[in-house]
């Protein structure tokens, strides 16, 4: 009977070898044709547009990903607490209430700052780069008409 860390080391070596071997075999067997669609950058189906240097790059996807990680970590901490709830007693309950309260305050802060809004405020059409053409099917909002003739 084997004892110690030998089985774990064997498993790690086999897992690493499987990963490396899978990458090498797929690299050897894939066709090497260069097609324009393969060489284009992938940005969720949106044509990449070069923005002026003074315009900020939208980071909405990164904010959503970071929020997901925060609330996912909260769930990860709640599972072991729920398993050991009876042995922790009142101290464990108060500790979890404080933890959830702190995460809830962070949630309210993000909500107040507009981090949960998918679409940002409407930009006037004049602020778009010249290379972007407005089409009727475009989802950008038109600026509101101001008092008129």
**What CATH number does residue 58 fall under?**
1.20.58.1610
Q: Rounded to an integer, what distance in angstroms lies between the CA atom of residue 149 and that of residue 147?
A: 7
Q: How confident is the model at residue 9 (pLDDT cuts 50, 70, 90)?
A: very high
- Number of structural domains found in the chain: 1
Q: CA–CA separation, 127 vs 144, rounded Å?
A: 15
What is the reported pTM? Answer: 0.41
Domain, as residue range, for 61: 10-119
User: Mean pLDDT in the chain?
Assistant: 76
Tell me whether residue 5 is in a domain. Answer: no
pLDDT of residue 120: 56
Nearest to 111 by CA among 57, 55, 70, 140: 70
């Amino acid at each position: 009977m084997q004892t110690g860390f030998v089985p774990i080391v064997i498993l790690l070596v086999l897992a690493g070898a499987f990963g490396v071997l899978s990458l090498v075999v797929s690299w050897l067997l894939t066709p090497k044709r260069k097609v324009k669609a393969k060489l284009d950058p992938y940005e969720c189906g949106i044509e990449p547009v070069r923005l002026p240097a003074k315009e900020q790059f939208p980071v909405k996807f990164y904010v959503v990903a970071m929020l997901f990680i925060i609330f996912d970590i909260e769930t990860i901490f709640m599972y072991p607490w729920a398993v050991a709830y009876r042995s922790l007693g009142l101290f464990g309950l108060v500790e979890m209430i404080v933890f959830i309260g702190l995460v809830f305050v962070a949630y309210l802060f993000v909500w107040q700052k507009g981090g949960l809004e998918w679409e940002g405020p409407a930009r006037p059409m004049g602020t778009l780069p010249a290379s972007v053409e407005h089409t009727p099917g475009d989802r950008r909002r038109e600026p509101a008409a101001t008092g008129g003739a």
